[in-house]
Amino acid sequence: MTSGRPALTPWPLAALVAADVLFLWMFLSAAPLEQMAEAGQLTPDHRATRDSAFAFAASWRHGMAGNSPLYMPGFFALAIAVWFWMRPVRVSRILVEWMASLSMAAAIAWLLAPVGVVSAVTSFSVTSGTGWHGLIPRASMEAVGAGAYTAIVWSTFVAGSRLALARQSIRYLLPVPILTIGLIMFRPWTVDDFVGFWIAQTMAGDPVATLSALAIPIVAAVLGWSERPPQCVQILRRRPRTVSER
The overall average pLDDT reported for the chain is 86
How far apart are the C-alpha atoms of 164 and 173, rounded to whole Å?
A: 7
**In DSSP terms, which residues pair with 42 in a beta bridge?**
132
| Angle (CA) 168 20 200, round 5° | 80
When pLDDT is cut at 50, 70 and 90, the band that residue 229 belongs to is low
Q: What is the pLDDT of residues 204-218, one digit of tens each?
A: 999 999 999 999 999
Residue 242: pLDDT over 50: no
Question: Which pLDDT score is estimated for 183?
Answer: 82
Do 215 and 153 touch, CB atoms closer than 8 A?
A: no
Residue 231: pLDDT over 50: no
Amino acid found at 49: T
Spatial neighbors of 109 by CB under 8 A, at least 6 apart, are 20, 21, 24, 25, 27, 28, 147
Domain range list for the chain: 10-237
Q: How many CA atoms lie within 13 Å of 25's alpha carbon, on the beta-carbon side? A: 25
User: Between 1 and 73, whose confidence is greater?
Assistant: 73
Q: What is the pLDDT of residues 37-88, one digit of tens each?
A: 999 999 998 999 999 999 999 999 999 999 999 999 999 999 999 999 987 7
| Angle (CA) 104 21 60, round 5° | 145
Q: What is the pLDDT of residues 118-160, one digit of tens each?
A: 999 999 999 999 999 999 999 999 999 999 999 999 999 999 9
Q: DSSP alpha helices (H): ranges in the chain?
A: 10-38, 47-61, 73-85, 91-128, 141-167, 175-186, 191-203, 207-226, 230-237
Question: Taken in order 209, 215, 220, 223, is the CA torsion positive or negative?
Answer: negative
**Cα 172 to the center of its chain, rounded Å:** 20
Residue 94: pLDDT over 80: yes
SS3 6: coil
